[in-house]
């Protein structure tokens, strides 16, 4: 049996189950929702719903289903049994005890909206994403983001560039190429392409066709490949539509579909109170670099190392890693990107408590002073009082000070103060 690897959000989940009557875990297919629920709740009965068959008559008679199966319950892929939601609401309104029902779903459209609106105050919602490098290494408590947000000036002392791991830590190219889905942990590299082929086929046939009546499946396949090539770039729906042969409105609608099924992440542009002209376009990212590599026909970690997409995919991995680490914080920072019409660009801006935390990503082993010029431009624009010391996350192995306000850290740096 494969070894279970702990997740960052387990602490949040355990807090929610002690205070909310219902806990809803959302996320893309195969990110480990069911595995985490069954690991943390081994004694709780679990039901998995199907989009075609009403296996337990939960859709036909939800009250009878719940009468026959007393809580606590795990209701997996609950978006396929939305008729349960009104019955669940009535039942939890009559109960005071928290932790009665644990729901999961891989789509966040009508199901998530219904759950949030009809059971406000009764449901705690957690979004589980792919695994971070710390989770993959078996050390989820080593995430450093909270320390950076609270004490950015002392981050260098809190990190080590030589992570101590419970598992062999893979090299960067292998990590990017394989991606962050837990189902790949025990698979050899030779089976990775087949895994992703099956994943895309299931995603298109079960999620896409249920949510969107897409008749031009060949065009949608081209759209998936092109969107993977555009990961870590500003989004131009008109250009994307022309390349695929669809209207700009259809391109935007399909991007929204990827977002609603947790395959796509977009960052808003940061404006602030600046007189400089700032780009108003969103920046988009595939949620999983392994899927992006597969869609771009990158056949191996060695092929990725010489691919022109290495830089964008490295940025994609890092943005997603920080986004995942942020989900475990009580107050996650707001994430933005920043780009001026003059060409200055900072890959990621985090905003919390009125302070800005700029982060750049460079897929090189020894970035130099020139690589921090956009961070300096951002600081000059918004001032030292508002802008915290910046980070430059790179593909190397060393932690060092690039300039007075910029710390360079490796992509897999570990939090030194973590528990052993």
C-beta of residue 212 within 8 angstroms of C-beta of residue 259: no
- Residue-wise pLDDT for 321-340, tens only, equals 999 999 889 899 999 999 98
pLDDT value, residue 83: 87
C-beta of residue 418 within 8 angstroms of C-beta of residue 139: yes
Residue 133 in tokens: 């490098």
Residue 207 in tokens: 């999620």
pLDDT value, residue 390: 97
What is the rounded average pLDDT for all residues in the chain?
88
Q: CA angle, 182 as apex, 178 and 187 as ends, to 5°?
A: 60
Kindly report the pTM of this predicted structure. Answer: 0.91
- CA distances 185 to 17, 32, 48, 68, 234, Å, are 28, 12, 23, 37, 32
- Residue-wise pLDDT for 171-198, tens only, equals 899 999 999 999 998 899 999 999 999 9
- Residue-wise pLDDT for 363-377, tens only, equals 999 999 999 999 999
- The rounded percent of the chain whose pLDDT value lies above 70 is 91
Torsion angle, CA of 182/186/188/191, rounded to 10 degrees? -60
Strand partners of residue 409: 393
**Confidence band (pLDDT; 50, 70, 90) for 108?**
low
Q: Which residues contact 177 (CB under 8 A, 6 or more apart)?
A: 192, 289, 290, 293, 298, 300, 301, 304
d(CA 79, CA 282): 29
Q: b vs e for 105-122, b when ≥16 Cβ sit within 10 Å of the residue's Cβ?
A: bbbbbebbeebeeebeeb
Q: CA angle, 106 as apex, 245 and 215 as ends, to 5°?
A: 25
C-beta of residue 179 within 8 angstroms of C-beta of residue 288: yes
User: What contacts 24+ positions apart, CB below 8 Å, involve 301-309?
Assistant: 301/171, 301/173, 301/174, 301/176, 301/177, 301/178, 301/189, 302/173, 304/173, 304/176, 304/177, 305/173, 309/229
C-beta of residue 50 within 8 angstroms of C-beta of residue 206: no
Higher pLDDT, 114 or 119: 119
Least confidently predicted of 74-83, 109-118, 196-205: 109-118
pLDDT value, residue 419: 46
- Residue-wise pLDDT for 25-53, tens only, equals 999 989 999 999 999 999 999 999 988 88
Whether the predicted pLDDT of 118 surpasses 80 = no
- The rounded percent of the chain whose pLDDT value lies above 90 is 61
- Residue-wise pLDDT for 216-273, tens only, equals 778 888 999 999 999 999 998 888 888 888 899 989 999 998 998 899 999 999 987 6
**Confidence band (pLDDT; 50, 70, 90) for 113?**
low
- CA distances 246 to 24, 186, 230, 404, Å, are 35, 39, 17, 49
**Confidence band (pLDDT; 50, 70, 90) for 283?**
very high
d(CA 21, CA 120): 11
Quote the radius of gyration of the chain (alpha carbons, Å).
Answer: 22
Task: List the domains of the chain with CATH numbers.
Answer: 10-127 (3.40.50.300), 133-415 (no CATH)
Indicate the helix (H) or strand (E) that contains 104.
strand 101-105
């Amino acid at each position: 049996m494969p070894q279970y690897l702990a997740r960052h959000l387990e602490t949040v989940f355990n807090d929610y189950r002690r205070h909310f009557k219902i806990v809803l875990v959302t996320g893309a297919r195969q990110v480990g929702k069911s595995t985490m629920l069954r690991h943390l709740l081994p004694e709780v009965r679990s039901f998995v719903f199907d989009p075609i068959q009403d296996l337990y008559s939960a859709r036909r008679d939800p009250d009878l289903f719940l009468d026959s199966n007393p809580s606590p319950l795990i209701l997996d892929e609950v978006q396929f049994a939305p008729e349960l939601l009104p019955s669940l609401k009535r039942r939890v309104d009559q109960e005071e005890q928290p932790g009665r029902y644990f729901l999961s779903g891989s789509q966040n459209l009508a199901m998530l909206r219904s759950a949030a609106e009809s059971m406000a105050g009764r449901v705690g919602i957690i979004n589980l994403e792919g695994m971070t490098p710390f989770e993959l290494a078996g050390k989820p408590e080593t995430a450093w983001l909270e320390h950076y947000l609270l004490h950015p000036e002392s981050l260098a002392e809190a990190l080590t560039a030589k992570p101590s791991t419970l598992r062999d830590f893979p090299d960067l190219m292998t990590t990017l190429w394989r991606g962050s889905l837990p189902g790949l942990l025990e698979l050899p590299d030779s089976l990775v392409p087949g895994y992703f082929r099956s994943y895309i086929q299931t995603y298109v046939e079960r999620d896409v066709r249920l949510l969107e009546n897409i008749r031009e499946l060949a065009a949608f396949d081209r759209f998936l490949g092109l969107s993977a090539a555009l990961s870590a770039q500003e989004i131009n729906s008109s250009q994307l539509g022309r390349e695929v042969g669809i209207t700009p409105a259809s391109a935007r609608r399909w991007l929204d579909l990827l977002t609603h099924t947790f395959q796509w992440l977009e960052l808003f542009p940061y404006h602030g109170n600046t007189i400089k002209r700032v780009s108003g376009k969103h920046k988009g990212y595939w949620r999983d670099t392994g899927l992006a590599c597969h869609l771009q026909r990158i056949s191996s970690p060695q092929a990725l190392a010489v691919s022109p997409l290495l830089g964008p995919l490295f940025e994609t991995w890092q943005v997603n890693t920080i986004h995942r680490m942020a989900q475990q914080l009580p107050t996650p920072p707001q994430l933005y990107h920043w780009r001026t019409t003059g060409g200055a660009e900072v890959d990621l801006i985090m905003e919390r408590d009125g302070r800005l935390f700029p982060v750049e990503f460079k897929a090189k082993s020894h970035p130099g002073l020139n690589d921090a010029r956009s961070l300096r431009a951002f600081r000059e624009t918004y001032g030292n009082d508002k802008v915290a010391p910046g980070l430059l996350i790179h593909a190397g192995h060393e932690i060092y000070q690039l300039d007075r306000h910029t710390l360079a850290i490796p992509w897999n740096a570990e939090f030194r103060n973590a528990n052993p």
